[in-house]
Amino acid sequence: MGNYLRSWFEPSAFTPHGFCLLWEPGLIWLHTVSDALVALAYFSIPVALVAFLRRRRDFEFPQIGWLFAAFILLCGLTHMIGVVTLWQPWYWFEGLVKAATAIVSLLTAIVLWPLIPKALSLPSPSSLREANDRLAREVEEKNALVRALEVREAELKELTASLERRVMERTESIAQINRRFDAALSAADVTVFTQDERLTYTWISKPELGLTVEEIIGRTDEEVLGEAAPPIVAVKRRVLETGDPERMEAKAGDQWWQMSIEKLHDAPGIICGAIEITSRKRDEARIRFLFDEVKHRVGNLLAVAQAILRQTAASCETVDEVVERFGLRLRALGGSHQLLVREGPRSASLREVVESQLGYHEASRFIIEGPEVRLDDSAVLHIGMALHELATNAVKFGALSVPSGMVRVAWTVENGRCTLRWREMGGPPVRPANRRGFGREVIEWAAAQAVNGEVSLDFPPEGLRWELRFPLKERKLVEDGVAHSAG
């Protein structure tokens, strides 16, 4: 039994937690300082709880306070042991402390829930004092109200006769208001308003344009609408002159409105119904923009495809060779274009471009690493084509032509510039090509022109080296430093 207990603390039995962190000093210190600070905070909380319980002997539920103190103390102890296990593999001891923490936390939860209704039912002394004071004030207020009501009763008797006379005078006004409300209810989401013969607002169903009813009534269109008023006023005056109803669309500030204007039949002036159509106008503008964008992209895509076909045909000797190379290049172009036309406002990232072009090859042959970098449309297309040509060359003549070959694709960001590198390893000895075809033009010239950058291409015996350096300008990037294998 003693040997079994000693094995819990035997350093050779297990591996310290720091080994899992590769003894990286930054990670070791991060875990050590974080756990130590958390433990310090956890140890201070039980001290505060115990001090409170010792001073408040009248506390109704002291047992829950002691349970919370024990639970939080054990939580702090687990974090301190977490620091120790970075160097000493005392995992059995750590497990016992966690088990004790679990038991105390479970016991705390079991005790806590039945106490909640009891705690809620207990009024505090301060609330009792406040309730008594409030009741006293209410009694005094009610007594004062009774005295005031007695005075008002006499006054109301005098007002009754006067109100009966005014009821008759208001009947006609109410009839006019009913007609106005009928007009407002005849349309959905409509603002109804009336103006007199001078086009001064006399009534409005609900305020608009960020104004209150008081800020609109009694004012003219020039005062309310400002620079947007002249075309609206012209239509309203024409309705006053001809008596014929009219409809119009008008913009006031950032909002568009569809207005129906008619002349009042029972009083001089007009009545108008206005429906906000800002969303509809915005949708119409977006549809026009998307239509123009589709035309632009289709034209660009056809032009690029035509150029690829022309250059491919110029560098091939047979029709079959043209068909094969053109098909592969179209597939690469389609992969890049697919990133451009996907839904959502987010632009394509450099990692997505790399993975879309290399996804047709065996993933375990590639190592891809680099931060998140966003590209514009032209960069997506041309960098994608360049990666396709590099991969095709590697399959035919380079590292991917032998089973042991590997390709490393990495990029870094520094001072607002991105550097993309292609490195081939483990392939046959490299010899520079004797002629310059379309693929080499894409690799050395087209990609650099698309991103306003520079390209270097080297042919050391151990493997081809290609490097593209370009400014990021206003492109969005997140340097998260994440690196992983494509496989």
Cβ atoms of 302 and 347 within 8 Å: the answer is: no
**Both structure tokens of 20:** 């899992």
Among 71-85, 293-307, 383-397, 464-478, the range of highest mean pLDDT: 383-397
DSSP state of 477: E
Closest CA to 352 of 393, 387, 318: 387
Cβ atoms of 422 and 465 within 8 Å: the answer is: yes
DSSP state of 114: H
In the prediction, which pLDDT does 9 show? 47
| Strand, helix or coil for residue 482 | coil
Q: Could you read off the pLDDT of 42-85 as tens digits, one per residue? A: 777 777 677 777 777 766 666 777 777 777 777 877 878 777 77
Among 36-50, 249-263, 448-462, the range of highest mean pLDDT: 448-462
Q: Which residues pair with 311 in a beta bridge?
A: none
Q: What is the CA radius of gyration of the chain?
A: 40
Closest CA to 61 of 134, 106, 114: 114
Q: Could you read off the pLDDT of 121-147 as tens digits, one per residue? A: 666 667 767 878 888 888 888 888 888
- pLDDT-derived band of residue 487, with 50, 70 and 90 as boundaries? very low
In the prediction, which pLDDT does 130 show? 82
Is the pLDDT confidence value at 11 over 60? no
Distance CA 13, CA 22 (A): 19
Helix residue ranges, H only, 360-409? 377-396
Closest CA to 261 of 277, 276, 273: 273
State the average pLDDT for the chain: 75
Handedness of CA 168, 169, 171, 172 (dihedral sign): positive
- pLDDT-derived band of residue 178, with 50, 70 and 90 as boundaries? low
Using a 10 angstrom Cβ sphere, with 0-12 exposed, 13-18 middle and 19 or more buried, the burial of residue 62 is middle
- pLDDT-derived band of residue 483, with 50, 70 and 90 as boundaries? very low
The CA-based angle 363-367-373, given to 5 degrees, is: 105
Distance CA 215, CA 372 (A): 52
Distance CA 334, CA 453 (A): 24
Is the pLDDT confidence value at 117 over 50? yes
For the segment 448-462, the average pLDDT, to the nearest whole number, is 91
Q: Are strands 477-478 and 372-373 parallel, antiparallel or unpaired?
A: antiparallel
For the segment 248-262, the average pLDDT, to the nearest whole number, is 82
In the prediction, which pLDDT does 474 show? 57
Q: Could you read off the pLDDT of 295-314 as tens digits, one per residue? A: 544 544 554 455 555 556 65
For the segment 79-94, the average pLDDT, to the nearest whole number, is 75
Is the pLDDT confidence value at 222 over 70? yes
In the prediction, which pLDDT does 344 show? 42
Residue where the block lists tokens 């065996």? 362
What is the distance, to the nearest Å, from the Cα of residue 237 to the centroid of all Cα atoms in its chain?
48
In the prediction, which pLDDT does 14 show? 62
